[in-house]
Amino acid sequence: MYIHRKLEEKITQRLLHFDDIIILYGARQVGKTTLINKVLQKLNKKFLRINAEESIYNSVFSQRNLQAMKELTQGYEILFIDEAQVIENISINIKILHDAVPELKIILSGSSSFELANKIQEPLTGRTKTYLLYPIAVCELNQIYNRFELKQLLPDLLIYGAYPKIFNLPVRQDKISHLLELSSAYLYKDIFQLAHIKYSHIIRDLLKLLAFQVGSPVSIHELAITLKISSETVERYIDLLEKSFVVFRLSAFSRNLRKEIKKKDKIYFYDVGIRNAIINNFSNIDYRNDIGQLWENFIIVERLKKNVYNEMHKNIYYWRTFTGAELDFVEEYDGKLTGFEIKWGKKIPKPPKTWLQTYTNARFEYINRGNFLDFIL
Q: What pLDDT digit, counting tens, does each position of 130-181 carry?
A: 999 999 999 999 999 999 999 999 999 999 999 999 999 999 999 999 999 9
Residue 349 pLDDT exceeds 70: yes
pLDDT attached to residue 343: 95
Q: How confident is the model over 207-251, as pLDDT tens digits?
A: 999 999 999 999 999 999 999 999 999 999 999 999 999 999 999
Q: Are residues 229 and 371 located together in one domain of the fold? A: yes
238 vs 195, which has greater pLDDT?
238
80 belongs to a structural domain: yes
Q: What is the DSSP letter of 263?
A: S
Final residue belonging to a domain, choices 71, 103, 132: 132
Q: Are residues 279 and 319 located together in one domain of the fold? A: yes
DSSP, collapsed to helix, strand or coil, labels residue 80 as: strand
68 belongs to a structural domain: yes
CATH number at residue 77: 3.40.50.300
pTM of this structure: 0.94
2 belongs to a structural domain: no
Q: Are the C-beta atoms of 72 and 52 separated by less than 8 Å?
A: no
336 belongs to a structural domain: yes
Residue 85 pLDDT exceeds 60: yes
Q: Are residues 229 and 344 located together in one domain of the fold? A: yes
Distance CA(338)–CA(285), nearest Å, equals: 29
Residue 321 pLDDT exceeds 60: yes
Q: Are residues 290 and 323 located together in one domain of the fold? A: yes
Final residue belonging to a domain, choices 132, 153, 169: 132
Spatial CB neighbours of 164, under 8 Å, sequence gap ≥ 6: 3, 29, 30, 31, 34, 135, 136
pLDDT attached to residue 258: 62
Sort strands 78-82 and 105-110 into parallel, antiparallel or unpaired: parallel
125 belongs to a structural domain: yes
53 belongs to a structural domain: yes
* Counted domains in the chain: 2
Stated as kind and residue range, the H or E segment containing 128 is strand 128-132
Q: Are residues 223 and 281 located together in one domain of the fold? A: yes
Final residue belonging to a domain, choices 74, 102, 132: 132
Give the whole-number percent of the chain exceeding pLDDT 90.
Answer: 76
Q: Are residues 91 and 161 located together in one domain of the fold? A: no
The burial class, CB within 10 Å (0-12 / 13-18 / 19+), for 129 is middle
pLDDT attached to residue 126: 81
The burial class, CB within 10 Å (0-12 / 13-18 / 19+), for 298 is buried
Band of the pLDDT at 120, cuts 50, 70, 90? low
Mean pLDDT of 51-64: 90
Measure CA 124 to chain center.
Answer: 22
Q: How far is CA 38 from CA 5, 287, 310, 350, in A?
A: 10, 40, 20, 47
Domain encompassing residue 70: 7-132
Angle subtended at Cα 116 by Cα 113 and Cα 120, rounded to the nearest 5 degrees? 80
DSSP, collapsed to helix, strand or coil, labels residue 49 as: strand
360 vs 121, which has greater pLDDT?
360
Q: Are residues 254 and 289 located together in one domain of the fold? A: yes
pLDDT attached to residue 177: 97
Distance CA(62)–CA(90), nearest Å, equals: 6
Mean pLDDT of 262-287: 95
Distance CA(169)–CA(172), nearest Å, equals: 8
The number of beta carbons lying within 10 Å of the beta carbon of residue 150 is 19
Q: Are residues 108 and 169 located together in one domain of the fold? A: no
Measure CA 331 to chain center.
Answer: 18
Q: Are residues 157 and 64 located together in one domain of the fold? A: no
User: What is the average pLDDT value for the chain, to the nearest integer?
Assistant: 92
Q: Are residues 118 and 226 located together in one domain of the fold? A: no
Mean pLDDT of 259-278: 89
370 vs 126, which has greater pLDDT?
370
13 belongs to a structural domain: yes
DSSP letters spanning 188-199:
THHHHHHS----
CATH number at residue 290: 1.10.10.10
Contacts 24+ apart (CB under 8 A), 143-146: 143/3, 143/4, 144/1, 144/3
pLDDT attached to residue 116: 60
1 belongs to a structural domain: no
Q: Are residues 161 and 119 located together in one domain of the fold? A: no
DSSP E strands in 220-349: the ranges are 247-252, 266-269, 315-320, 326-333, 336-342
Least confident segment among 39-43, 113-117, 333-337, 370-374? 113-117
Q: Are residues 162 and 25 located together in one domain of the fold? A: no
